[in-house]
Chain A
Amino acid sequence: MTNFVTFTVIGIVVGATYAIAASGLVLTYATSNVFNMAHGAVGMFMTFLYWEVSVNQGWPVWVALPFVLGIAAPAMGLLLERVMMRRLTQADVTISLVVTVGLLVALIGVAQTIWPPAGRNIEQFFNGDAVSFGIVRVSAHQFITMGVALAVAFGLYVLLNRTRIGTAMRAVVDNRELLALHGARPNLLSGLAWALGSSLAALAGILLAPQLTLDYTTLTFLVVSAYAAAMVGRLKSLPKTFVGAIVLGLLINYATWAYISLPKSVLTSDFGQVIYGVKNSLPTIFLLLVMLALPQEKLRIGRISGTKLPKLPSWPVALAWSAVFIVGTYLLTGQFGDANNSRFGQAMCLPLIMLSLVLLVGYGGDVSLMQLSFVGMGVLVAARGFTIPGTGIGFHPQVSVLSIVTAFLLTAMIGAIVAVPALRLRGLYIGLGTLALAAAIDRIVFNTKLLGFGNEGSTVNANRPGWLQSEQSFAMAVVVAFVVMGLMVLSIRRGKYGRILLATRDSQAACATLGFSTTITRVAVFAVSAGLAGVAGVFFAGEHISVSTYDVFFFKSLPLLLFATVFGVTSISGVLVGGLVYGLIGYAPTTVGNLASVVLLLGILLLGGNPNGLVGLIFEQARKVPLPWRRGGLPVEAEPYPTHNPARSALEAPVGTA
């Protein structure tokens, strides 16, 4: 009984912090139509700032708290709204997803630069004083948390339903222009919402922090819980969001209770690790279940694309470049020496992984924040080998044709299983769902001995085949794999399936009225893309020889997508450059690596989310240079027709908003 009451109280308290964070998320989404993947990162950043002023600088709580919640956080919210979110309200979901993911990565980078990793703690309010109620003790901090959540709920209710500003805020997303005509100022309103949203994120972070040591990613991804709660309210309803948050808080704590009641023998077994992973993934599982319960997304009229893809190289040109690249790297690696060849080979693994994004994101217009999880599975296939139980049929843990084929089939199959539920929904949910799933795979699969690497930080080893033992030869194997897989991606793009893929991306409504199911294409592409990432994983394992759970940490899927997008996720050359830059930055000092993410974010903003990226831009410019063998050109370029504007999808109301 005591346990039950205790875990219920803690559950409600934890749920209350989720509710606070989630309400900020709903508020900003409702007023600007931008789902902020970086909501938790804002909270994380502000919590570190709070630590800085209250612990490091020694300001009293009653100064530090108003400073962070009343000045710093709102200022940051206003700034974000001004420079970033305002431009995204009409943008395609994939673009706003990539930009806010960029913000998330950048915020973590900046936080790591200002506050290098170290043990930091934030004290509970009132030093953890507690009051006993018969059998349970409730700390002052817990009381405050619940009280604050109630106050937030009440305050938001009054703001949105009883004040003119609130009513206008709710209307702003539906019709900015109309509202402006009536004298309201939509930009001011969404600025206000973002200021408030940032404060709420900060508040949640500060309330949660005493239970954890301050850590960049833990705090950032604690909001997966907030996402899950917000999803219960379909990102619209605040009351439902609150209910979702409390239910989730209770669920997590009852699960913890159940977990610690398990017999010790189970807890310490290999299977116990898996249960532990499941317990820690409950917010994720909850999120995925809520997403499954959402109704199938209605078809949208209004095309998504708006960016022209870069011109495809002809076969002779592509083959010539491939040959040049292979010969060039061969000559270069001949000069390098082992250490540099190993670095080069490891850097080359990233373009190889990013190739899977060209198909999915570049051509297909979908998004995945779990590519590295598929890479991790490929690593496991190469490092653990595979035998059909009881038969002895299979292969040794080694990089081989068999392990490549197995990795492809296994990850493609898992990719298809993942895609079926995710693709019923909009881009936003695919992003969220894949990220959540990646986090769960880390805990339930990778960080267990039974299925994955072993405890967090453990390594597995893969063997290279005899004829690819040297550093140069394996680096060249990665290069050749990149070329071969790149040509495969190109040939898909040139063929029937490439056309269908682009058509699917361009207009799902048109596909439906032609009698074609876009779901099948999208699932297939997701699966093939997962398969390519799995194959990349086998090479990754061979190149690194020893791979740890940190190498495939789910968070690393985010910079992967960013680098690919900034340099050009629609072309093979784009991911080659982007991947190499990303890979080589790994050898630079940490600060450079951390701040690169900020540069990256600026890059995305300057490119306006154009997925052709820097490399695409360069090619486009280069093509305009008049060269003697370039005559004429397309009639369109010679004669400027009044063309229709393709980039208007966001301006159109979704069908079926009745």
Chain B
Amino acid sequence: MALLEVDEVFVRFGGVVAVNGASFDVDEGKIVGLMGPNGAGKTTLFNVITGLQEPTSGRVRFNGKDISKVAPRQRALGGIGRTFQRLEVFGSLSVGDNIRVAAEMRGISRPERVRDELLDRVGLRAFADVTADSVPTGIARLTELARALACDPRLLLLDEPSSGLSEVETDDFARLIRSLADEGKSILIVEHDVELVLGLCSTIHVLDFGSIISSGTPAEVQADQRVQDAYLGADTEAAEALEEVGA
């Protein structure tokens, strides 16, 4: 049984259909990619899964239970963590305190130790005492990741986590994600860096105009004509990247 099941979700904003009957699963301990051109509805789907956006219709199941009507906070307590594409770091706290406060909010014992471990693990040691509002975007994204990890989620949703990272940092990041999956965490990742997604994920779902147009292993998705059409129609840069990587 899949850990997360998204079932026929629709989201309408007035006349705009942001998500149009999307369905997909995320299995336990797997790294799953969610790809799609700009405006495809990826972030909206994340908001639906975490409860920040009420879907017009459809359901979300987590660990076998229907959580469609559950409040965001309860979903987080149930083991769903996330980062945000448009940053939501605690800007007036230092990077270290961002992590510590997450542990404190959850009443985890020894929050300082959680902070120190995660600072090292995510590679933020040098920024520990810098205010989160004044660090570069990439660092702020890692801060959000570390903050989410402080609550030890079973499922982690990452919305474009690598944008703003240098190449070296991206490699470190990929290693970190793999090690998290090895520990049994499930990871759903939205990423524009095609190379990174193809290298990292065991399954990829491609979203276009709010619907899943293709699902499968990286190789299957790359070979899918519909995927290439979608990208050629919307986002030439990503399409080129897709070809370069070997479609």
Contacts and interface: CB of A to CB of B under 8 A. Distances in A.
Interface of A: 299, 301-303, 305-306, 308-309, 496, 499-500, 502-503, 505-507, 509-517, 634-636, 641-644, 646, 648, 652, 655-658
A454 to B, nearest CB: 45
B173 interface: no
B247 interface: no
Contact of A299 (B52, B100, B129): B52
Interface stretch (B90-98, B183-191, B204-212, B215-223): B90-98
19 contacts: A301-B47, A305-B91, A306-B91, A499-B93, A499-B97, A499-B100, A502-B93, A506-B88, A506-B91, A507-B88, A510-B88, A510-B144, A512-B71, A512-B72, A515-B74, A515-B76, A516-B73, A644-B87, A658-B13
Interface of B: 11-14, 47, 50-54, 56, 71-74, 76-77, 80-82, 84, 86-93, 97-98, 100-102, 104-106, 126, 129-131, 133-137, 140, 144, 147-148, 150-151
B192 to A, nearest CB: 17
Contacts of A657: 13-14
B50 A644 contact: no
5 tightest A-B CB contacts, nearest first: A515-B76, A516-B105, A510-B88, A512-B72, A641-B136
Given A499-B100, A515-B105, A655 B47 contact: yes
Nearest to B80: A513
A514 B148 contact: yes
A506 B93 contact: yes
B175 to A, nearest CB: 24
A305 B92 contact: yes
Given A514-B102, A655-B47, A506 B90 contact: yes
A646 B87 CA distance: 8
A305 B81 CA distance: 23
Given A515-B77, A635-B126, 11 more contacts: A303-B87, A308-B133, A496-B101, A503-B93, A506-B91, A513-B82, A513-B148, A515-B106, A636-B131, A636-B135, A657-B14
Contacts of B12: 658
* B interface secondary structure, majority: mixed
A308 B11 CA distance: 36
Given A502-B92, A510-B90, A513-B50, A646 B133 contact: yes
Contacts of B13: 657-658
B91 A303 contact: yes
Contacts of B86: 301-302, 648, 652
Given A512-B52, A655-B52, A658-B12, A499 B137 contact: no
Contacts of B92: 305, 308-309, 502, 505-506
Nearest to A658: B13
Nearest to A174: B14
B141 to A, nearest CB: 9
A298 to B, nearest CB: 8
A656 B136 CA distance: 29
A634 B127 CA distance: 10
Given A515-B73, A515-B77, A643-B134, A301 B84 contact: yes
B131 A513 contact: no
B105 A512 contact: no
A308 B74 CA distance: 31
A17 B218 CA distance: 67
Nearest to A518: B73
A648 B89 CA distance: 13
Given A510-B88, A642-B137, A643-B137, A496 B73 contact: no
Contacts of B74: 515
A648 B100 CA distance: 25
A157 B173 CA distance: 57
Contacts of B53: 655-656
